[in-house]
Amino acid sequence: MSESIKVVVDAMGGDNAPEEIVKGAVEALAENENIEIIFTGPEDVVNAELGKYQYPASRVRVVHASQIIETGEPPVKAIQSKKDSSLVVGLNLVHKGEADAFVSSGSTGAVLVGGQAIVKKIRGVHRAPLAPLIPTAKGASLLIDCGASVDARPNHLVQFAVIGSIYMKNVMGISKPRVGLVNIGAEEEKGNALCKETYPLLKACPDINFIGNVEARDIPKGAADVYVTEAFVGNVILKMYEGVGGVLLQQIKAGLTSTLRSTIGAALAKPALKKTLKKFDSSNYGGAPLLGLKGLVVKTHGSAKAGEVKNTILQCIQFKEQDVNGKIQEFLARESAAKDSAG
């Protein structure tokens, strides 16, 4: 367990860069001595931030990158034209094997495109899924895919189910992750064409613990550990979490301060309430990994603060120690062999 892990941190990505990003990375260094951090970004800016802290200099390196990819930029063009951005320079370090993982709070589109174009998919992976952990009443579940698989095919979803299970078992420590197919009814014959074709494939897949269809209303309850869906629906689920949660909390806040009586009540209830709601805060679980690549790429929220950056970096250790990519490759080899013998 003493093997070290090298994590590239995009010092310039996200709303709170570089301050919170550098702070979170320094905190991760303090928490685990096997971590080495490589920051990408303008050398002077990163060093100025680092100057605020005490940290083990032997485990920190800054690789200069003069450009920044902004959130609004078209991803493909940004990746192609900004070769000296903190994002592209960072992904190249993983590609060249100089680092194990890359963490960024920058543009989701650019991380998705850059991850696939620069770090590249493992041979046999159809599409590299973006798989955030979402909070549930029981803890956290993996929602796979929220990324690049819009208009996915059934065999893509089967790969997501297996890859997601490997992740939840090895990184989150869940022994037999329950896999649910996101659908609009519980019965096998329910749903759209994609679900109807995917269901029997998941049922027949020996590599997963498939529990059947899961309706969206049961997702926040923690009905499964791995929720399998194509990216359009995954994205809608992820953003409904954000939207409903945000508006509801806003309304509750307004209700709590609408009268003097309720304002006093709210002041008394606040500490306990805050503690509970923290459980439902997705930043506790770290960033969303882009899986199936020849290296680990993790996207943290654009609004990520030091805590989320730290948690994300710490998760990378599990990913490497448990050899998640090795296990994905073993599955792909089995899948390919099965196809050959069937064909």
Pair type for strands 288-290 and 296-299: antiparallel
Which is closer to a copy of itself, CB of 52 or CB of 239?
239
Q: Among 48, 150, 337, 338, indicate the residue that binds a copy of itself (CB under 8 A).
A: 150
- List the interface residues with a copy of itself, window 14-33 (CB under 8 A): none
Which is closer to a copy of itself, CB of 240 or CB of 333?
240
- List the interface residues with a copy of itself, window 225-284 (CB under 8 A): 231-233, 235-252, 254-256, 258-259, 261-262, 264-277, 279-280
> What is the number of residues in the chain?
343
Return d(Cα 2, Cα 11) in angstroms, integer: 26
Q: Strand pairing partners for 299?
A: 104, 288
3-state secondary structure (DSSP) of residue 142: strand
* Least distance from a copy of itself to the Cβ atom of residue 2, Å: 39
Which is closer to a copy of itself, CB of 22 or CB of 79?
79
* Least distance from a copy of itself to the Cβ atom of residue 194, Å: 8
Return d(Cα 275, Cα 223) in angstroms, integer: 23
* Least distance from a copy of itself to the Cβ atom of residue 44, Å: 34
- List the interface residues with a copy of itself, window 171-210 (CB under 8 A): 182, 184, 191-193
Direct distance between the N- and C-terminal alpha carbons of the chain, in angstroms, rounded to an integer = 42
Q: What distances in angstroms separate CA 167 from CA 36, 75, 163, 218, one per listed residue?
A: 22, 27, 6, 22
Return d(Cα 33, Cα 28) in angstroms, integer: 9
Q: Which residues bind a copy of itself (CB under 8 A)?
A: 136-137, 150-151, 182, 184, 191-193, 215-221, 231-233, 235-252, 254-256, 258-259, 261-262, 264-277, 279-280
